[in-house]
Amino acid sequence: MNVNEIKSIIKKIPRLFFGFSLCALGSLMMIYTDLGMNSWGILHKGISIQTGLTFGNSYKDTQIIVKEKILLLIQ
C-alpha cells in the first residue's frame, strides 16, 4: 500500500464509524419503541435476557462467535 491509499483509508474511517453509530441508534430506537426488531436483534435480546448480559455485550459476543465460525469455515 502506498501513502495515498493509506490517506484515503484514514479519511474514510470517520464516515464508517458515523455509519455504525447510525445503525446502532436505529437498533436502539427499535428496542425502546417496541416496534419490533430484525432476527439478529431478537437473538441478541434473547441472549441478554437468558444470560443477564446487556444487549450490547450480547451483540458483541455473538458477533465475535459468528465471525470466528465463518473464518473457520473459510479455511
Q: CB–CB of 43/62 below 8 Å?
A: yes
Whole-number percent of the chain with pLDDT over 90:
12
Smallest Cα–Cα separation from 38: which of 30, 47, 29? Answer: 30
Output the pLDDT for position 73: 84
pTM above 0.85, yes or no: no
Smallest Cα–Cα separation from 44: which of 65, 73, 72, 69? Answer: 65
Assign 49 a pLDDT band (cuts: 50, 70, 90): very high
